Structure 1
Amino acid sequence: MVVRHGKVACECHWAPNTVNTPHDMFSLSKSVTATAIGIAIDEGYVSLDTRIYEKYFPHKLEGLTGKQLEWAKKVTVHDVLSMRMGKVTSVFDDKAKTDWVNGILDKPIQFEPNSDWKYISENAYLLSWIIQRETGMTMTEFLTPRLYEPLDIKIPHWEQSQVGVDAGGWGLKLTVEDIAKISMLYINKGVYNGKRIFSEDWFNKATYPYTKKTYPVFSDNAEYGYQVWIDHEHHDTTYRFTGLYGQFSFMFPDQDACVVITASDTRDGDAISAVFKHFPKAFIEPKELDDKKQFEFKALTSTRAYGPDFMHSLGRRDAKRESKYSNRMMKFVPLPFSSTQGALTYFMWRKKIGGLTDVVLSFDKDNAIMSFKENNSERMTIKAGMNNEYTHNVITLGENELIVDAQATWNRDGSLEFFLYNSGRPQSKRLRFIFKGNTVILKQNSYPGFGALAKFNIEFNMGMNVGSKFENFLDVGGKVFGAFYSDTDTVGRFVK
C-alpha cells in the first residue's frame, strides 16, 4: 500500500489476503510498543531515566551478585528502548516454559548499558511490563482510547506471556491500513486528522539516531532510535518500522508519504533495496501514464493468486483412492511442533499443542477434508479445494484463532497433497501423505523454509552475507535436526 497526503495512491494483495486481513507484525510490534511508552511519558507515567530493575523488578535482583547485580542496577528505560541494554537472548527461548524477565537476567553480560547496541525482542516485553505496572492496564487496554480509537483501528490481537502481559516485541496483528495510519501519525509528528496523539518532543526522541551503524549486511546501514529505524544514506531522512518475514513501513516525511508491505519472505535487504530504487524518486518525479501504462498498472496491482509454485494445486481427483482412504483413522508419531503452522510462529506462542497425532480423510464434491488432532487439541477440520480454488477455514490452535485457506490434489504417484496458506501469518505449509499399505508417511515443507530463516538470522545477528547454497544446506540441516523444526517427516499407520 502506498499512501500520500493521507490518501491511498496504490494497493494490491496476494489472494486470499484482502485489505482487511490482519497480519503477524513480528518485530514491527516494537514500534507500537514504543509509541505506547511515548504516550505514557507524555502523561507522566514513565521516565526515560528510570532504572527499570530497581523500580519494577526489585525481587528479581535478590539472587544476583557481583557484576550481574551492578549491571541490572544501571539499566534504564532509555537503554531498553534504544536496544542498548547489554544482554542477548535467543528467539528460540521457549516462551511456554520460561519467566521472560528471568530469561534476560540469566544471560551473560555482553556490554555495559548504553555503551553499545544489540537488537533483542525481550527489550520490548520489558516496556510492556512497565506500561502494565504503571497504568494497571495491558498495553492493548492502554492504547485503545489513546491510539486505536482515534486512528479508527479495530482493537487488535496481541499475544501475551504466561502472566498476562502483552508480548511487546512480537505477537501483534495489524492490517496494512492500520500500519499506514500509524505511519502517517509519525510522518505528522504525533498528529492524526488534526488530533495530537503524542507530543512532538516524543517524536524527536523516538527518531533520534542513538546508534549510528546497525547491520552493514543490509543495504541501507540504517541508524536506530526508539524502536524505529532511521535512514539517511539514500536521500533525505526516512523512518522505518520493520518486522521479520518482510513486514515494513517506509515513511518519507518530506513527501508526506509511506510505503507499507506485509510479506512472507526473509530477504529484507532485497526488499529495502527494491523500495529505495523507486522511492522517494517516484514522488519527486511523477510521470503521466499513457493508456497502455494505465492498463499495465491496473493489471499489476490487481489481486492475484498467492505466489510460490508449490502453492498452486492442480486439483486432480482420484475416485478409487478417495474411496479406499476415506473415513479411516491414521495415527502418527507426534512431533513437538504444529504441522499446520511454521516453526517460529508456533515457537513464540506461550501455549503449545504439538504435532499431528491422528488424521481422518474424507472427500466431498469440491474438497478434500482433513479432520485431525494435534497432540491434546480438540479435533479440527480443514477443507481443501480440489477445484483449483482455495477453501476458507478458521481453526483454533492453542489460544490462537487461525485462518487457513487450503487446496489439495492427488499426485501422479498416488500421494495426496495439501497446500495450507496461513492467511496473515508468514509461513505456509505443504503436507504430503504417501500411502504404502497400512503405513502412511507424512512429508512436510514450509515456505519460507528453515534455510531462509537461518540465513536471515545469521546475516542479521552476525553481519555476514550467506549465499543461497548455504541456505540449501541449512534446509537439509533442518530436516536432520527435526526435533527442533516443524518440517520433519513422520510415520503413521491406519488403525481402522
Structure 2
Amino acid sequence: MGNMYSLRPTALDELDYRIRQVKIDACLVLRNRRLVYRHYRKPEFEREPHKVNSVTKSVLSLLIGIALKRGELPSLGALLSDFVDGVPPDKRAITLEHLLSMSPGMEWKEAGAWGSLPPPGEHEADWIRFVLDAKMTDPPGKKMIYNSGCSHLLSAVLQKATGMTASAYAGRHLFAPLGIDDWDWPSDRQGISIGGFGLKLRPADLLKIGQLLLAGGCWQGTSSFQGSGSRRPPFPACPPRAGTVCTGIIGGSTPTAPSKRPVRASCSRKASRDNF
C-alpha cells in the first residue's frame, strides 16, 4: 500500500487495549505486507476455524465472480429462474445482479427482527422455497434491503451452474490457490451450502482473502483472480471509506471504522447471529 500514511506510535497499543476489553478471539493487522499486530485470546484460536457469519456472503460473491470469469455463469443479467426451479411469476424478473446487490424487491426480515428467537426460515425443510415465497413489495433493483435469503439463492445458482456446492467450488478455485486448507461450510437439507452465514475460516486465512481484495485480484505476483469480481465485488453499495479496510469481524456484523491508514485487519470474535 506504500508509505504515504503514517501509523501513530501508540495506535497498536490502543488497539490492543480495546481488544482486550471484549471477547475478541483473534485479531491480525497487516501493514505494508508485514504483520504488525497479532492477538489470540487463547493459543488454540490461531489454528481453530471461526464462524465468519456474513463474511460468508462476501466469499460467495467472489465465487460468483470466479464462475463468471470461467464462463460457468453467463452474466450478472442472467435470470434467477434460469437456474432455480419453481420461481414464482412475480419473481421471474430477478437477476443475479439483483441478488448480489440485495435488491430483488422482496419483503424480508433479518435475524435481528425476531429478537432472540431463530428466524422462521431456519425451521423450514426447504430454505429455497421459503425465500421464494416471500412477498414482493418493490420492482427488482429499486431498493436495497439486507437479505440473507438472496445469498442462499446465489449459492443454489452457483451449484446448478457448476455442479459443485459453494464449499467444494471455493475449495478448488479460491481456497486452494490461497493456501487455505481448513474450513467448514454447512449445507441446508437439500445439500446447498448456506449462502448467508455459517462458513468457518482460520483468522490468518481470512486475512488472505482481505489481501486478495485489496490487491485487486493479484496473489503472490499472479493475476489469476483479476476480472473475477475481486476489484469491484458486487456487494450492496455502501458509502466509501478512506484507507483502511477490515476484512471482517468473525462471528458478528460489525462496520468498518473510518481511517486514513493503509492497514489490513482481520479480527475474530464470538458474537450474535446474522442469518435468516
Name the TM tier (shorter chain). 0.7 to 0.9
- Give the strand-richer structure, 1 or 2: 1
Correspondences of 1:309-320 after superposition (within 5 Å)? none
Letter aligned with residue 104 of structure 1: V
Contact 1:146/1:197, CA 8 A, preserved across alignment = no
Corresponding residue for 2:145? 118
Deviation, 1:194, is: 1.4
Corresponding residue for 1:28? 55
Matched, 1:50 2:78: yes
Letter aligned with residue 208 of structure 2: K
Distance 1:32 1:132, change over 3 A: same
The one of 248, 252, 259 equivalent to 1:245 is: 252
Counterpart Cα distance in 1 of 2:205 and 2:216:
17
Contact 2:217/2:231, CA 8 A, preserved across alignment = no
Matched, 1:73 2:92: yes
Matched, 1:168 2:195: yes
Counterpart Cα distance in 1 of 2:187 and 2:124:
13
Correspondences of 1:251-400 after superposition (within 5 Å)? 255=262, 257-265=263-271
* Structure 1 gaps, min length 5: 212-222, 224-229, 267-343, 349-496
Letter aligned with residue 139 of structure 1: A
Deviation, 1:93, is: 2.1
Distance 1:145 1:196, change over 3 A: farther
Which structure is richer in relative contact order (CA contacts within 8 A, separation 6 or more)?
2
Letter aligned with residue 43 of structure 1: R
Deviation, 1:142, is: 1.2
Letter aligned with residue 96 of structure 2: V
Contact 1:33/1:168, CA 8 A, preserved across alignment = yes
Counterpart Cα distance in 1 of 2:169 and 2:260:
27
Letter aligned with residue 93 of structure 2: K
Contact 1:27/1:242, CA 8 A, preserved across alignment = no
The one of 152, 160, 166 equivalent to 2:179 is: 152
Contact 1:231/1:239, CA 8 A, preserved across alignment = no
Letter aligned with residue 265 of structure 2: V
Deviation, 1:32, is: 0.5
Alignment length (residue pairs): 240
* Structure 2 gaps, min length 5: 1-27, 112-118
Contact 1:185/1:191, CA 8 A, preserved across alignment = yes
Distance 1:248 1:13, change over 3 A: farther
Counterpart Cα distance in 2 of 1:245 and 1:78:
25
Deviation, 1:186, is: 0.4
The one of 11, 18, 42 equivalent to 1:15 is: 42
Counterpart Cα distance in 2 of 1:252 and 1:148:
29
Counterpart Cα distance in 1 of 2:79 and 2:222:
32
Corresponding residue for 2:207? 180
The one of 200, 223, 226 equivalent to 1:196 is: 223
Corresponding residue for 2:240? 231
Deviation, 1:134, is: 0.8
Distance 1:16 1:157, change over 3 A: same
- SS of corresponding position for 1:11: strand
Matched, 1:38 2:65: yes
| 1:171-228 deviation digits (Å, cap 9, x = unpaired) | 1001110110000000100011112242246234416x863xxxxxxxxxxx0xxxxx
Letter aligned with residue 266 of structure 2: V
Rg larger for: 1
Counterpart Cα distance in 2 of 1:248 and 1:152:
27
Contact 1:13/1:19, CA 8 A, preserved across alignment = yes
Counterpart Cα distance in 1 of 2:110 and 2:267:
26
Letter aligned with residue 51 of structure 1: L
Corresponding residue for 1:85? 104
Distance 1:264 1:239, change over 3 A: closer
| 1:388-430 deviation digits (Å, cap 9, x = unpaired) | xxxxxxxxxxxxxxxxxxxxxxxxxxxxxxxxxxxxxxxxxxx
Distance 1:183 1:253, change over 3 A: farther
Corresponding residue for 2:156? 129
Contact 2:187/2:194, CA 8 A, preserved across alignment = yes
Counterpart Cα distance in 1 of 2:266 and 2:210:
9
Counterpart Cα distance in 2 of 1:103 and 1:27:
19
Q: TM-score when scaled to structure 1?
A: 0.44
Deviation, 1:108, is: 1.4
